[in-house]
Structure 1
Amino acid sequence: MKKLLFFCGVAAVLCSSCGKRIARVESVDIVPQPVSVVASDGAFDLTKNTKICLLSDDSTLNYSVRLFNGLLDKSFGKPLPVIKSTQPEAGAINVRLGGLQPEEYTLNIRPDGVDITGGSPAGVFYAFQTLRQLLPVAVARGEKAGVIELPVAEIADKPHFAHRGGMLDVCRHFFTADDVKTFIDILAMHKLNRFHWHLTDDQGWRIEIKQYPKLTEVGAFRDRCNLQAEADAPKDSVPYGGFYTQDEIRDIVQYAAKRFITVIPEIEMPGHASAALASYPYLGCKGEGYVVPSTWGVKADVYCAGNDSTFRFIEGVLSEVVELFPSEYIHIGGDECPKINWQQCPACQQRIKTEKLKNENELQSYFMQRAEKFLAGKGRKIVGWDEILEGGISETATVMSWRGSAGGIEAAKKGNHVIMAPNSHCYLDYYQTDKTETEPKSIGGHLPIEKVYSLDPYEGLNADEQQYILGVQGNLWTEFISEFDHAEYMLLPRLAALAEVGWSYDNKDFDSFKKRETSLARLYDAYGYKYAKHMFPADSTATDTTK
C-alpha cells in the first residue's frame, strides 16, 4: 500500500507538470525600478497545482489574486487554487500583511516557494504587478504550459510619492467605458494609483447628473467629431458625443478600486463651461446664444459668478458627484477662465462690490472658494489648476501645476499641497519626437521620453518645502485623439518614464530604464497595446505595433 501511494504521488507530480516548460525571463527587469533587487540563479516552478496561500482574512487581497490568476488562466487552463491559512505552505505563493508602509512590499522568490508581504492590500497588489513582469512573455500571450519558471530573486520596494497619476480627457473626444477601463489597466500595470478623469469641458459634458438632464441631452453632443480651428468646417451627418451613466461610473470606480486606483473626477469651473451653458443658458452672463463648440481653444463664455442660481447649479452637480466618487479630492478646474464677460456683466460687477473684491481675479477665487466650502461640508478637498493662485487660495486647496512648475513652486512655498504635472514634462498629447511627419496627429510641441524622465518635482524647493509635493501626474488631452489606439500610442512608453519618476525618484537611472523598458515593451506587444518605438534599440525583439 505504501508503494502504491508513493507511485500515485509521483504520478500526480508528473501530471501536474506535464506540458511545455516555459523558461524564466533572462533578467529581472522591473519598471518602475524597485528600491532593491537581488537576483540569483535558479527558478521556482509554477504549476497549475501551485497554491496561493492567504495568511490574512482581508477580503481585498482577493482583488490581486483574481487578477494574477487571470494572467495564468489561459496557460494552465484554470486558476491556481487559493486557500486561507494561519501558517505558510511549502511550495506555495504565501501572501501576508504587516510591518511595512501601506504601499510597500517585499517579494521573495525561492526554488521552494514564493513569499509576498505587503504593508496593506495595496502593497500586495504592487508585489503581484512586479510578479507579473517576471512571468515569461509567453504567458502574457496565453501560451499553454505545464510549468512556468519564475526567477529566484529578493525584492524590497516602496514608492517615493503618494500621488502617481494619469489624466484622461474624455470631453474633446469621447471614449467608451471599456476604453476607460483599459486606461486604468495601463495605469495599474505601471503602479500608478490615481486616475484623474476630465469629465466636463467646452466640447462635451460626459457625466450624467439626474437633477440636470439637459447636461447630457444637449451638452454631451456637438456637430462633428474632429475638432477644428474654424467654426465653418464640415459637420457630421449625426451629432458626435456620448456620456457615462451613473451606473457606468459606479462600475468604473469599482473597477479602479480593485486595482488600488482612486478616481478623481474633474468638474470644470468657472471656465471651460460652454457645454453646460448650451444646456442651461441662464448659467452664463449673456443668458442665450450658447452652443457646444466643435472648435478647440479657450472660449470666452464662462459661468456667471454674479448669479446665485449658478452656485445652486454647481452645488447640485457636486452633490451628485460626491455620491459617485468616494475620493478624498474633487478637481474643480480653475484654468483658462477669460474675464471679459465678467467685466461687462452687471451681476458680476455687483458681486465684486458686495464681496469687497479687488478685481475679476479675486472674483474667480471667490467662485472657487465657495465651491471648496461646499465640498468641505461634504468631507472633501479640492484640487485646482495653478491659475487658482492668481486671486488667492485657501490653505487647504491643492494646486495642480501645469503651466510649467512655477505655480507648484509658488504654492509649496505658501504651504499648499501640490501635484506636479508641468506641460514641459507631463503633457503626453505632445509629439514624442521632433520628426513629426510620420507621427500620429498631435496638438503640437515635442516631448521625448528623456525629457519626461528628467522631471524633478522638487526643483526650486528646499527640504521644508518639498514636503508639500504630493506627487506627479501625466496628462493626456484629446483635441486630436479620437481613437483609443492613438491614445495608447501617446501614453506609451512615456507613462512608464513618469511612473518611474513617481515611484523611484531616489533610484532613477535612464540607461537602466531603457533596458528595463525594452523588456516591458514585450508585454505591451503581448497585450496588443500601441506604443512609440523611438527609445528602443534597432535590434529590440519588440515588434512594431504602431502601424
Structure 2
Amino acid sequence: MKNNIIYLLAFLTVCCGTIFNSKAQIIPHPLELEYGSGEMVLESDLVIIASSEVQNEAEYLADFLEKGFGRKAAIRPIGEGLKLVLENNLIEKLGVEGYRLRVQGDGITIEAATPTGIFYGVQTFKQLLPVTFEQGSESQTITIPYVEITDKPRFQWRAFMLDESRHFMGGMEVKKLLDQMALLKMNTFHWHLTDDQGWRIEIKKYPMLTAKGAKRKDTQMEYRSEKRYGESHEGFYTQEEIKEIISYAQERHITIVPEIEMPGHAMAAIAGYPWLGALGTTETVPEIFGKMPDSFNISDPKVVGFLKDVLDEVISLFPGEAIHIGGDEVNYESWIKSDEIQAFMAKENLKSPVDLQIYFTNQISNYLENAGKRMMGWNEIMGDDIHEEREESQDAVEQKLASSSIVHFWKGDLSLIQKAVEGGYQVVNSNHWDTYLDYTYERLPLSKSYAFNPIPDDLEEKYHKNILGTGTQMWTEWTPNVEALEKQIFPRLIAYAEVGWTALENKNYERFLKALQEYKQRLKLTGISFYESL
C-alpha cells in the first residue's frame, strides 16, 4: 500500500465521512473518456511527482490541494504519488494543449507533450473531485473514480473578451474571471482597454490619457435614454498592475490580447489630447454610448506617431503575439468634412474613407509586424460595408488589408468569412448573434450559445484550418457593477468553453445541462453570481 494513496474496493466507499464523485461532470467534455470499475481514495499526504519543467503546474496543483486538505502537498522529482509527466512523443497525437489523465489501481498520472497540456490535465483532475473540496474537506475522505481520459481542443483560439472601457471592474474581478477561464480551458483573454467612454491603461509618455481620459462625469443608464446615474465613473490600470495580471494569466496558460481602439472609438483619448481628433472640438469623455462623432485624425503624421508611441508601450507590456486594434464602427463624417483629411486622401490617391482606414490599418499592421506582433481587428478592417450604410457607388474599395492580419468576424453576412479565408486570412469567428454576452437571455439563450459552430456550415473543408477559433464578448455599457456583469457572463461562458474545446461530434446539450448543475454549485461556492432562470 502506497504511503500517500489508499486503494479501496468499491463497496468500502460508502463508509461514513467519504465524499465520492462517482461520475464526474467534466466541462468542457473530453475527447475520450472511459470509466473503470473501481475507485481511489485520496489522503492529505498526497505527494506530487514532477520534473523541474512543470514546477509551475505542480505548485498550482499543490495550492489547490492545500485548500481541501489543509496542508500543502510535497513536490518531488521522483517517487510515488500523483505524477505529472512530460512525454514529447505525445505532441503528434495530442498537440500542444492535449493531455492524458489516468486514475487507476497503480496511481494517478497526467501526461502531455507540454506544460500547457499538463495544466489542462490538472483542470480536469480538479473536476473529478467534489465541488466542495476547495472549501476544506480535510476531515473527510475524498474518493474519485477510476478513469482514463485522452483529450485535446477542437480550436486553438478560445477567448473571452471583457470590455472595461465602459465600466471599469478592477483587478480582483479580472482574476476571478481568469480563474474560471483556466478551469474551462479557455486560453485567450481579450482585454478591451480603450474606447470612447474611458481609457484604462497607463501610457507613461501620455499621462493625460488616464488623468483625463479615464474619467467621465456621468453615465447613461439605458439605451437611447436621458437617464443618468448622477455620479462620475473612473478607473485605470497602472503598468505595474497590468504586469501583475499578465503574470497571473501566464501561470494559468492564458494569453492576454489587449485591444487599443483605432482609428474610431477614440474620444476618451481625444479628450486627453484634443489635437488627436478630426473634429477639433472634443474635450470631454462621453457619458453616452453608441457610435460617437469623432475619430483620430490619421492624416496627421503626429497623430500616427502618437498611436505608434502608445503601441510601443503596449508591446513592451504584453508578451502575446496578437495586438487587437478594434477598427470597428468608425464614423467617417468627421473625415469627410475635414479639408486636411480630404487633401491627404487626394495626395495619397485614396478614393474613399474606407480606403483611408485600410491604408492606416496597414501602416499599423506593418509597424506591429516589425515588432514581432500580429495585428488583429474587427472585420470592418477588410473594408466591407457590414452596417449597410453606403451607397452602391461607394462600395468599390481599392485598398487591400495586409495579409498577416487576423480578421475578427463579428457582423455581416457569413459569406464574408468565406471571402476572408479565400483571401488567405485567418479568422476568429465571434458572430454577434451567437456570442455577445451583453445580449439578453431571451435574445441569446443558453441553448443558442451552446449550439454555436465557429465553422459555418457551408465553408469548404480546405478552409477550416483558417478558422482559428472563437471568442465571446462581454460589452459593459449596461452592466455597471460586478453582480450585473457576472449574471450576463454566467452560465453562458461555460457553454462557450465546450464550443471552443469539445469535438463537434461529442457535444450533447442534455449532457451539458446535467454537468452545468454541478458547475453552478462551484460558482455559488466561489461567490460568483449567475443567471438562474434556466
Q: Give the structure-2-normalised TM-score.
A: 0.90
Q: Secondary structure at the match of 1:458?
A: coil
Q: What residue number does 1:84 align with?
A: 77
Kept after mapping to 1: 8 A contact 2:86/2:114: yes
Distance in 2 (alpha carbons) for counterparts of 1:256 and 1:22: 34
Q: What residue number does 1:517 align with?
A: 516
Distance in 2 (alpha carbons) for counterparts of 1:505 and 1:156: 12
Kept after mapping to 2: 8 A contact 1:228/1:294: no
Q: 1:72 to 1:226 in 2, by over 3 A?
A: farther
Q: Give the structure-1-normalised TM-score.
A: 0.88
Which of 306, 309, 320 is the matching residue for 2:313?
320
Distance in 1 (alpha carbons) for counterparts of 2:73 and 2:229: 53
Q: How does 1:47-446 map to 2 (within 5 A)?
A: 47-54=43-50, 56-58=51-53, 61-85=54-78, 89-90=79-80, 92-98=81-87, 99-100=89-90, 101-229=95-223, 233-234=227-228, 236-237=230-231, 239-390=232-383, 391=397, 392-404=400-412, 405-432=414-441, 434=442, 446=443
Distance in 1 (alpha carbons) for counterparts of 2:300 and 2:517: 56
Deviation, 1:510, is 1.3
Distance in 2 (alpha carbons) for counterparts of 1:57 and 1:153: 27
Q: Secondary structure at the match of 2:476?
A: coil
Distance in 2 (alpha carbons) for counterparts of 1:188 and 1:431: 25
Q: What residue number does 2:390 align with?
A: none
Cα offsets for 1:505-524 (capped at 9, x unmatched): 33212122112222222212
Q: Secondary structure at the match of 1:215?
A: helix
Which of 441, 446, 451 is the matching residue for 1:449?
446
Distance in 1 (alpha carbons) for counterparts of 2:499 and 2:233: 37
Q: Specify the code of the residue in structure 1 equivalent to 2:520.
A: A
Kept after mapping to 1: 8 A contact 2:19/2:140: no
Q: Quick check: 380-389 or 404-413, which moved more?
A: 404-413
Q: Specify the code of the residue in structure 2 equivalent to 1:78.
A: R
Deviation, 1:488, is 1.6
Q: Specify the code of the residue in structure 2 equivalent to 1:520.
A: Y
Q: Secondary structure at the match of 1:179?
A: helix
Q: Specify the code of the residue in structure 2 equivalent to 1:424.
A: W
Q: Quick check: 194-203 or 393-402, which moved more?
A: 393-402
Q: Specify the code of the residue in structure 2 equivalent to 1:427.
A: Y
Deviation, 1:458, is 1.5
Q: 1:234 to 1:451 in 2, by over 3 A?
A: closer
Q: Which runs of 5+ in 1 are unaligned?
A: 1-5, 14-18, 435-445, 536-547
Deviation, 1:75, is 2.9
Q: 1:228 to 1:282 in 2, by over 3 A?
A: farther
Distance in 2 (alpha carbons) for counterparts of 1:500 and 1:406: 25
Distance in 1 (alpha carbons) for counterparts of 2:277 and 2:219: 25
Q: Quick check: 294-303 or 346-355, which moved more?
A: 346-355
Q: Specify the code of the residue in structure 2 equivalent to 1:76.
A: F
Identity percentage of aligned residues = 35
Deviation, 1:310, is 0.8
Q: What residue number does 1:496 align with?
A: 494
Cα offsets for 1:179-221 (capped at 9, x unmatched): 1111111111110000000000000000000000000000000
Q: Which runs of 5+ in 2 are unaligned?
A: 7-14, 384-396
Q: Specify the code of the residue in structure 2 equivalent to 1:416.
A: Y
Distance in 1 (alpha carbons) for counterparts of 2:229 and 2:145: 57
Deviation, 1:464, is 1.2
Distance in 2 (alpha carbons) for counterparts of 1:147 and 1:265: 44
Distance in 2 (alpha carbons) for counterparts of 1:228 and 1:142: 43
Distance in 2 (alpha carbons) for counterparts of 1:192 and 1:511: 22
